Amino acid sequence: MLRHGIASIRSSNVRSWSRVATADSVQFTSSHSRISSPIRFYSQKPHKTTFNRGTPGETSARAPRPSFATNLVTFLAVSSLSVGGALYQWNKTRQGDIFSALSSSSEGLTNEKWTPILLTKITPVSAETSLFEFQLPRPCMIPVSSAIYVKDDEIQAMRAYTPVHSTEREQETFQLLIKRYSEGQVSRFMHAAKPGKKVEMRGPVVIWPGGRQDLEQWDEIGMIAGGTGITAMLPIIHTALTNPAKKTKISLLFAAQSPEELYFKDELDQLAKSFSGQFTVRYAVDKAPLSEGEWSGYVGYVNQGMLRGLLPASKTITGATDATTSAGAQVAIKSVVLVCGPESMIRHVAGNRGASGQEPIRGVLGEMGYKKDQVFRFPN
């Protein structure tokens, strides 16, 4: 999910997390159409900043505003560029050789410039969500737990999405799951696009180390996904389950507004069946269908009752990090809990990510005793 796919205005109503239509784009002021470093990901509603079109008064999709708003936009743009540079260096260090390989080509998808990528297929999966398939100009490896920036070149806005099935092998195509929001500039742009259109993209940028060797350090991985946040989890699930060297135990709570927004449910159910004992999945919806017998999962917002007994135990519970081997020896169990979804859901489940993304864990997981070294909150 990254759909591992930028600045924020937070919703004040935590309990309405799954109903919040989070805008999905970011823009910033620049003297060039090609930016020197990617803007950092945010998991909240973006500020309105712009790319420079070259003509004063034409840099924004909105009508001119009073001087206070203009000054605020300028401040946010400068702030975004500052943190963007820091994220660029962080990702460059984290990706190492992968980053260099992806950036060296002038023909394929790269993190250094915008590349026109051909949209080949659109598959509706719910009333407001579709799966968009793209053809790469040349084969490219899209690391697990990475995101790709998509740009609306009409108003120069961009948003990061997590490819649905990224792998550790070169691939010629990739898919993005995009939900349309009324205030989402890029999501509306994409839902208006037709197959055959070329969409400007750049990336990928690694968000969390989810490659096969990275995942081998974990004995247990717990996951909480909301809506399209499942795209950040799917590549990790596939990579971990298909690793013959390490059988990492994975558990997932997938929550959505309605059953139709439990994307890839059939695929998840099949994985749970094929990897019984290693992969467990549970589902929750805001409201059960009106027809009786159509829903057997949880109903309501994510709570302790849904998570207790599913996720790896918090470190505050005595003996939670230890296991006994067949020889009777005690060994430490290394675990992590991943959270991805709408910002209001993340806040409800684990507390605000904050500017650094490393704020103390609060919300439901905080009440259960989880600490920030055991939880990772994906930006969205």
Mean pLDDT within 179-200: 94
Same fold, 14-206 and 212-377: no
The answer to whether the beta carbons of residues 161 and 201 sit under 8 Å apart is: no
Based on its alpha-carbon atoms, the radius of gyration of the chain, rounded to whole angstroms, reads 21
Q: Give the residue ranges of the annotated binding site.
A: 159, 161, 177, 179, 186-187, 231
Domain parsing of the chain, residue ranges: 14-206, 212-377
More confident residue, 3 or 310: 310
Q: CB burial class (10 A; 0-12, 13-18, 19+) of residue 237?
A: buried
Read out DSSP for 108-120? S--SSS-EEEEEE
**Residue 240: is its pLDDT beyond 70?**
yes
pLDDT score of 35: 35
Q: Each residue of 245-295: pLDDT tens digit? A: 999 999 999 999 999 999 999 999 999 999 999 999 999 999 887 776 778
**Please, what's the b/e burial string for 93-105 (b: 16 or more CB within 10 A of its CB; e: otherwise)?**
eebeebbeebeee
Q: Is the pTM of this model over 0.75?
A: no
Q: CB burial class (10 A; 0-12, 13-18, 19+) of residue 200?
A: middle
Instruction: Name the token pair of 81.
Output: 């560029």
Q: Each residue of 95-126: pLDDT tens digit? A: 433 333 333 344 689 988 999 999 999 999 99
CATH of 212-377, one of 3.30.70.1230, 3.40.50.1820, 3.40.50.80, 3.30.1220.10: 3.40.50.80
Strand ranges of the sheet holding 129-141, from the earlier edge strand across to the other edge = 157-161, 146-152, 198-206, 115-124, 129-141, 170-179
Q: Is the dihedral of CA 180, 146, 281, 338 positive or negative?
A: negative
Q: Of 73, 58, 74, 63, give the one whose Cα is nearest residue 154.
A: 58
pLDDT score of 288: 81
User: At 321, is the pLDDT very low, low, confident or very high (cuts 50, 70, 90)?
Assistant: low
The structure tokens 């990336």 sit at 203
CATH of span 14-206:
2.40.30.10
Read out DSSP for 175-215? EEEEE--TT-HHHHHHHH--TT-EEEEEEEEE-S--SHHHH
Q: Give the residue ranges of the annotated binding site for FAD.
A: 159, 161, 177, 179, 186-187, 231
